[in-house]
Amino acid sequence: MSKEVAKTATSSAAPALAAEIAPPPPPRRDPAYVVAAKTRKKIPFWAMATLSLLPIWAFLYLLAVSPQEREASGPMAVGAEVYGACASCHGAAGQGGAGRVLHEGEVLKTFPHIEDMLNFVYTGSQPFVSANLAVYGDANRESGAHAPLSYNGNGMPAQGEKWGGGLTDYEVLGVVCHERYAIGGADPKSEQWAGEYATWCSPESEIFAALEAGTVDYDTVADTFKMLETPPRMVGTEARAAK
């Protein structure tokens, strides 16, 4: 009887023991997208460093291709900036207003020579009145010469520093060049105006550079640059009749 009980106990425990030591189920396979992620080649360290510099490179590239603002240089560029203060009287396009008309050749009729215009713009009208000069510019001007206070009773304010004006000598030259060539209609390539333009108003003008550097002024410029191909006439800083 005891042997049967033992045999029965042994046989009943065997399945339970077998169940306890049964091998684990095989691991689940990863989905395809997980397998692809695990087997994809990783970016090497040096490449990560390179990629981190891309934003800096992009910034420098945009800086290089973007148009850069340049400071105005040369007579015409300086004159275009200075003329903004003159436009309130002469008009943005030189059409006139409180001041005389400049466009469509009008300023060139009054001042066939740039030196006479420089003198008048530098001194203004009042010194002409004080010097008993009846006209300024060309006395034989087409449709009549201009008297210092003949336009709307308004005088031309002095622009030169000697007479209390706010412009330097080179700024006076710049604005006169702008009024003659950009507004007045003088053609710098024409036979009539090419010499004047090269001497006074071109970007390579030696006179402009010297005025800007302060090595000459309107009292000395004619003598200093008499060796030029188109030598300048006297300008002067006192009111005078046109020459």
Q: What share of the chain is helix, strand, coil (3-state, %, to 5)?
A: 50, 0, 45
d(CA 162, CA 122): 8
Q: Is the pLDDT of residue 116 over 90?
A: yes
Q: What is the DSSP string of 177-189?
A: HIIIIIIS---TT
How large is the C-alpha radius of gyration of the chain? Answer: 44
pLDDT digits (tens, 9 = 90+) for 124-147: 999 999 999 999 999 999 999 999
At residue 5 the predicted structure's pLDDT band, cuts being 50, 70 and 90, is very low
- Token pair for residue 176? 């006169």
pLDDT digits (tens, 9 = 90+) for 63-90: 565 554 445 579 999 999 999 999 999 9
Q: Is the pLDDT of residue 39 over 90?
A: no
Residue 173: closest CA among 135, 199, 193, 191: 199
Which CATH number is 75-224 given?
1.10.760
